[in-house]
Structure 1
């Protein structure tokens, strides 16, 4: 596998730092009492005031802890298993590794930009940077010339592409539905205690174009289509698990 030595050290760092960050998010306990707060935009929110996510809202803290749980029980085991398989020459392992790195990239990009400042800020930034460049190195390690030959002619490319197009359309409509009405009414969408719509920007810039591009290239049987589709599918699965866990944790915390 190309770039294996560099990938080894970078993946080890990602594993250790993500284990530390997610564990701190879940288990670091600093008791406090949540507090009602009115933001500069006049929005009434409840600040968590406990644990690592002290200055985040109760809703945001519940979501981040849900994501921490998925990182620990799904993301890190996937990273370990896929790395071992990829380094043994498995194409499936390599695809799995690249998709898993995409999960860490998205997760710690959002943590770097969305989480209220706390003592792990530099850890989030380090994980964001490491995940980004490890993801790029992993992509560049594929032999694209013979990649399509490893996929069956019976692969349901049309159905897979349709699923990606639907996902992209759903995210577009969901986020524009949250952005455009307040824009037309000259009001502000719900921001809680953030200053802008970080996740919406990330999805509209990164995830939606990836879904469309991967789907088109897959239909054309391009090597990049197979590669990007694999990344997108794994990213969708892991983020689906993360969002579900966030929702459950929000319910347990009594967040509507």
Structure 2
């Protein structure tokens, strides 16, 4: 694990012309803000799990199962990962910073659903706080990274594997969601995904088709074109896709535990997609000795960002 670069050494590297992959001074406030959001989110998820009826009592049974699964993932995976990765990034790990942006993307995505799809209740303001803190931390964290230097740090990664993985997964989910939406629109009925939640539309469909899947597709294309921005954003996109599969895998277990009829059939394909994503993430971020020039594989302290 990379160690924190001493200020004197960082200053010497700057004099020699080395450019940091992530500006530590610019990123530090956002690491702290994200840690605060993760703490609030874990407390809120713990309350949600302890008081399911009080928090989610107005939602459909299917929605409650999904909310419980999401709270479990928040409490066990997303929250602790945010705290750990923020600390490792502060210690000097560029790869931790890249993973951290992916976890924040997943958190923003899910708290948009929390705040706009669940009835207003005792945790509403906590969810709004998590969404706001996480969103601005994500923006600030992305701005603190320098894509050309990040790309140099990840040089040697299998760009075709990463790029095509992102493009194919984005295409698969686009087709899957359209297969629910288009027949429903033609038949004049709500899509199944919306009807099960008793909502006018499925927020997952909206977020995926309008924002996240096009972004994943664009990042995959940039990776194939060997653009530094694509390689710098690819870890976040891959982490987002991997983590998106976790609540889906947990939901059938929750449904079974609550005496419902679980959709076990989703676990096979989603499990495979998630496992492939983990493998892609490993080969993308795997350290390659001798690839990164001195001073480019870690976070160092810098002054103000230059335009």
TM-score by length of 2: 0.73
The aligned residue for residue 10 of structure 1 is 33
1:144 to 143, 147, 152: 147
Q: Which structure exhibits the higher relative contact order, with contacts defined as CA atoms closer than 8 Å and separated by 6 or more residues? A: 2
The aligned residue for residue 227 of structure 1 is 232
Q: 1:12 to 1:156 in 2, by over 3 A?
A: closer
In terms of Rg, which structure is larger?
Answer: 2
Looking at structure 1, the residues matched to 202 and 224 of structure 2 have their Cα atoms a distance apart, in angstroms, of 33
The aligned residue for residue 240 of structure 1 is 245
How many residues are paired up?
235
Looking at structure 2, the residues matched to 131 and 85 of structure 1 have their Cα atoms a distance apart, in angstroms, of 18
Structural mapping, 1:130-169, within 5 Å: 130-153=133-156, 155-169=157-171
CA apart distance, 1:239 = 1.3
Q: Does 1:208 align with 2:213?
A: yes
Contact 2:115 2:124 in 1 (8 A): yes
1:250 to 255, 279, 286: 255
Contact 1:59 1:255 in 2 (8 A): no
The aligned residue for residue 106 of structure 2 is 103
Output one character per residue of 1:112-141: Cα deviation in whole Å (capped at 9) or x when no partner: 111122211111111111111110000001
Specify every segment of 5 or more residues in structure 1 that has no aligned partner in the other structure, as ranges: 30-49
Contact 1:210 1:228 in 2 (8 A): no
Q: 1:169 to 1:28 in 2, by over 3 A?
A: same
Looking at structure 2, the residues matched to 80 and 132 of structure 1 have their Cα atoms a distance apart, in angstroms, of 16
Q: Does 1:26 align with 2:29?
A: no
Looking at structure 2, the residues matched to 252 and 92 of structure 1 have their Cα atoms a distance apart, in angstroms, of 37
Q: Aligned to 1:3, what secondary structure does the other structure show? A: helix
- Tell me which stretches of 4 or more aligned residues in structure 1 moved more than 3 Å: none
Contact 1:58 1:255 in 2 (8 A): no
Looking at structure 2, the residues matched to 121 and 212 of structure 1 have their Cα atoms a distance apart, in angstroms, of 32
The aligned residue for residue 77 of structure 2 is 74
TM-score by length of 1: 0.86
Looking at structure 1, the residues matched to 33 and 255 of structure 2 have their Cα atoms a distance apart, in angstroms, of 33
CA apart distance, 1:60 = 0.5
Looking at structure 1, the residues matched to 28 and 235 of structure 2 have their Cα atoms a distance apart, in angstroms, of 24
Specify every segment of 5 or more residues in structure 2 that has no aligned partner in the other structure, as ranges: 1-23, 263-307
The aligned residue for residue 198 of structure 1 is 203
